[in-house]
Amino acid sequence: MIRPGAAAALLAALALLAGCATAPRPAPELAGRLSLSVKAHDTAPAHGLSAQFELRGDAHAGELQLTTALGTLAGWARWGPGSAELITGQGTRRFPDLDALALDLLGEALPLTAVIDWLHGRAWPGAASVATAEGFVQLDWRIDLSRLAEGWVVATRERAPAVALRVKLDLAP
């Protein structure tokens, strides 16, 4: 038998926990795995990253969550008009836009505003593009969409330092 005082304490604790609960997050618009590699250049060594990702939103407002292969949160980026922020285990850093966030995080320019459209299989409307047999070229990047039906998007930049972004999208069954 539960004592009356203990039952009240238990109910109060459950109410407190329910008040702390957050609403479930909407399903990501795009999710999958990504691999980014930057070749060595001048005195900078080669570097890269691999992560699972979830993307919600578009180039104007959204969020990107990166998770390690072990399932721990590597970083979470949120952006809106005129601002972007990156939240990691080291704290929160703020930037004027997504591209500045990418430059600080990777030490290399990666046009994240354009990448969002590229992952949808289309050129970013903010810059000119040229069609190729495999996809298109935009902002000095060659976007290969030849395996998009299988979930693959590959973006490469040849000028130094060479950068390759390989994305395997999770496709709906």
Domains of the chain are 28-169 (2.50.20.10)
Which tens digit of pLDDT belongs to each residue from 41-90? 888 899 888 999 999 999 899 999 999 888 898 889 999 999 999 998 89
The better pLDDT of the pair 103, 6 is held by 103
Torsion sign over Cα 119, 120, 125, 128: positive
Maximum Cα–Cα distance across the chain: 75
pLDDT reported for residue 128: 98
Residue 6 has a pLDDT of: 37
R_g of the chain computed on alpha carbons? 21
pLDDT in tens, 30-40: 999 999 999 99
Q: Are 79 and 94 in contact (CB under 8 A)?
A: no
CA distance 164 to 142: 10
- The predicted structure's pLDDT at residue 47: 87
CA distance linking residue 127 with residue 123, whole number of Å: 8
The percent helix, strand, coil of the chain (3-state, each to 5) is 20, 40, 40
The pTM assigned to this predicted structure is 0.80
- When pLDDT is averaged across residues 109-116 and rounded to a whole number, the result is 90
3-state secondary structure of 64: strand
For residue 14, pLDDT beyond 50? no
Question: Cβ distance 125 to 113 under 8 Å?
Answer: no
pLDDT of residue 41: 86
Contacts of 78 (CB under 8 A, 6+ apart): 62, 63, 84, 85, 87
* Amino acid at residue number 2: I
